[in-house]
Amino acid sequence: MIFNDRYKVIVRHSPGWRGKEAATLGVSVGSPNWQDDKFVAILDFAARNFKTIRIDVTDALYRYNFMAKGLSAHNALTQANALGALWLAKHQATIDAAPVRPRIVRWAEWYAHPDFQETLDAFKDSYKHDEIFRTAVEKDIDHFYGRKNNCGQQAGWEYSKDYLIEEVAVSTLQARELASVKIYPGDDLECLRVVRQRLVKDAPCGLEHEQFAKVKFYTRPAHKKNFALFQKCSEEAPFQRTAS
């Protein structure tokens, strides 16, 4: 049993999600929204609302981030896989406690899928020849670097493009394997949205079987009350010992 007393998870702008039987948790191993109590809250929400849960650990995809920082492809993949291993080790007890037993799939497993290379090549072709898809990818890149105040944009542009195209390709394979609600604590990518809505001519099929559901965290009232009491006691304390 999962003990979740801190956050309540609410789905935003995804009508009809309750009619689905399966959920996919697209875990970004480097994001704080997938750590500790927030992951507990998301998994608890999924277990309460879906019969089937798949946890897709997006670790090997992070190699592009490390390559943008100057690591070789081999070392970048090693670092990215290490992130995934650490995340799993940290959260395995929570996963094991879930009343619905999730299936865990790490990103590199999709590289062995018989349709991976063909699907990836098709989306690379879409980027070259389809204006809607290319514009969507570039919009997502601009949004990412806008949040980072354009830091590293010139050096990282090609890696960001490759990152997103691979993400779309693997997400397509994921949706073919399991029609599900994709639960994610953030905004949908534009490049995924246009493919999911079949706006990209000749793009591989599959992603239309996925429904994106953005979730938000709300602190539970009891936790707010306990935290406020703790804060009040701390402020009134005349002396506090600190660890030496």
Range of the domain at 182: 7-232
Domain count, the chain: 1
Has residue 213 been placed in a domain? yes
Q: Residue 111 sits in a domain of what CATH number? A: 3.40.50.11710
Instruction: Work out the average pLDDT over 191-212.
Output: 97
d(CA 58, CA 78) in angstroms, rounded, equals: 14
Report percent pLDDT > 70 for the chain.
86
Q: How confident is the model at residue 227 (pLDDT cuts 50, 70, 90)?
A: very low
Q: How confident is the model at residue 234 (pLDDT cuts 50, 70, 90)?
A: very low
pLDDT digits (tens, 9 = 90+) for 108-135: 999 999 999 999 999 999 999 999 999 9
Has residue 30 been placed in a domain? yes
Tell me what pLDDT residue 204 has: 97
Task: Give per-residue burial for 112-140: e unless 16+ CB within 10 Å, then b.
Answer: ebeebeebbebbeebbeebebbbebbbeb
Tell me what pLDDT residue 145 has: 79
